Structure 1
């Protein structure tokens, strides 16, 4: 993806946080999640600092000559949100969509080597002939040399087919390393929680703390920066997103909602009171509105929409 597209994607993420934090409905957990997002990537922090300097820590002061109600309307309007933020960044000397040249953020690369935006899936060929399928809102950096091949995972989901056993192929993810030679694997990281599935070949997973796990075909494991869970069998339907599908069998509603988040812009709020409801079915990721309509017909939930960019799911 080109740099301007990457910059727009990052601005869109920041906009979603602005909409939520200025909505009056943000809870303590939302503020904690926002802080976690800021810490997750130096670029997030630097962009937020620029926005804070121009928008007043996400609160526009009247001394800047901008009424807060005007800002709220701009953020709520799909056609005006991005232009509003772009003008704010321009006021700070940040040229959005022009390569960030000649401004205080000129050393900031807003995009990963490989990435997808909201609702986008891509199949990419790597320099060594391996193939990577990226799910929506996923990012990775490629670091290949004559000694080894490294894929630095920055978030989201991917299906990786590794070819050529002459050099190790390493996936760096949340402080852990997944080693493969000739293999096919699913990689996922969302909010610091990781999962790796072996579809073919044998994988070696090592953590920062020195733990090691061997993963054979048909098995998967969850882990984070602190620990590696027990190896388990693959779940039915894992990797169905490659074909644009979501297959769940007696899974919590929260899992369905989390799978749909990368396919929707704006705020998607799930009431914890209904997050544990069990769901089974086969859904199309690209038709999330139809999915929510189907869920509302079969589960004791209410789906409420507040404008184009806010959807809430709660109890009836």
Structure 2
């Protein structure tokens, strides 16, 4: 049994979770402290529960960024926690974060053991998964990584609610009412065709790849979105987006297809499909790349980057990867 499958059947104790949180706070901003990283790697290798706890704490970054709109992406959640530690003292900051993780250890830390989506949504995927479903009217859904969806079909309506993540909809036959996709930022109506809805913290992106979709917002006329167009919707208004630097629906085929995309944006996209931290030095964040990348193994995907860009991969642990400029 490999480490990943073994960890799926572990639930670390609250004491071990606290140790992992403490290591997270210590390591933040200490990229060049090799002695500290050697001590951390020794702790990580000492027991399988340490690895499991570290994996769970790493995944908190994604959860915090989706819950708290004020926190930017890419590890900044823990930067904010570190700032809290400086103001409150490390023990108090540790206590606050431990309360978030440990008090709900049966639910939060074990969400990979018994995923919350199983009891909180009609259809769901975990991190790195994508799955397809066919609804009663023939509508087809494709769920991207870490996505949760509910459906409410009755004699009067066909409603799909995106609770979290990203959804590809291929409209089926006409039903008793319009096919509606609801998210926290707006309501979309698809009569026919194919479209992608991606919900993020402060906005939702709608991309129509075939057909036509209507955007409904409060106190505003419906907006028609044609094939090839993408809109950003924030609950108050919808803005037409320029051409995207990434194919919005390629993930349904297990791909990331980029067009002159910034490296830091690319890594943020890849990080959605794996656990832990993935980032790069600010000096190389603006490097651009175009190409087709397979999502089935993100480590193999990352190994391609040094072949096309002046970068090297630095694996501090299995779940902490940074890219640095080559000398």
Cα–Cα, structure 1 residues 21 and 135, in superposed 2: closer, same or farther, change >3 Å? farther
Contact 1:17 1:34 in 2 (8 A): no
Structure 1 position 37 matched with structure 2 position 55? no
Residue 206 of structure 1 contacts residue 213 of structure 1 at CA under 8 Å; is this kept in 2?
Answer: yes
Q: Residue 139 in 1 paired to residue 148 in 2?
A: yes
Number of the residue aligned with 1:158: 167
Where does residue 195 of structure 1 map in the other structure?
205
Q: CA deviation at 1:264?
A: 0.8
SS at match of 2:239: coil
Whether 1:114 aligns to 2:148 is no
> In the TM superposition, what whole-angstrom CA distance separates every residue of 1:73-101 from its partner, at most 9, and x where no partner exists?
xxxxxxxxxxx9699539x9x9996899x
Q: Distance in 2 between matches of 1:16 and 1:176?
A: 38
Paired residue for 1:170? 180
Provide the secondary structure at the position in 1 that maps to 2:301. helix
CA RMSD of aligned residues (A): 4.0
Q: TM-score, normalised by structure 1?
A: 0.67
Paired with 2:137 and 2:19, the residues of 1 have a C-alpha distance of: 41
- Displacement of 1:183 after TM fit? 2.4
Secondary structure at the counterpart of residue 291 of structure 1: helix
Q: Which runs of 5+ in 2 are unaligned?
A: 1-7, 30-57, 70-93
1:148: Cα distance to partner? 1.1
Q: Does structure 2 conserve the Cα–Cα contact (< 8 Å) formed by 1:165 and 1:181?
A: yes
| Deviation for aligned residue 1:274 | 2.6
Deviation at 1:211, TM superposition (A): 5.9
Q: CA deviation at 1:251?
A: 1.2
- Cα distance in 2 for partners of 1:95, 1:290 equals 26
Q: SS of the counterpart of 2:240?
A: coil
2:132 alignment counterpart: 123
- 2:270 is paired with a residue whose SS is helix
Shift of the 20–288 alpha-carbon distance from structure 1 to 2, 3 Å rule, reads: farther
Separation in 1 of the partners of 2:253 and 2:264? 21
- Alignment map for 1:248-287 (pairs within 5 Å): 248-287=258-297
The CA deviation at 1:302 is 3.3
Between the aligned partners of 2:291 and 2:159, the Cα distance in structure 1 is 36
- Quickly say closer, same or farther: Cα 1:160–1:34, change in 2 above 3 A: closer
1:57 to 96, 109, 113: 96
> C-alpha offsets along residues 12-52 of structure 1, whole Å, 9 cap, x if unaligned?
9xx9999577412447xx99976543458xxxxxxxxxxxx
The unaligned stretches of length 5 or more in structure 1 are: 1-7, 41-54, 61-83, 101-107
- For normalisation by structure 2, the TM-score amounts to 0.65
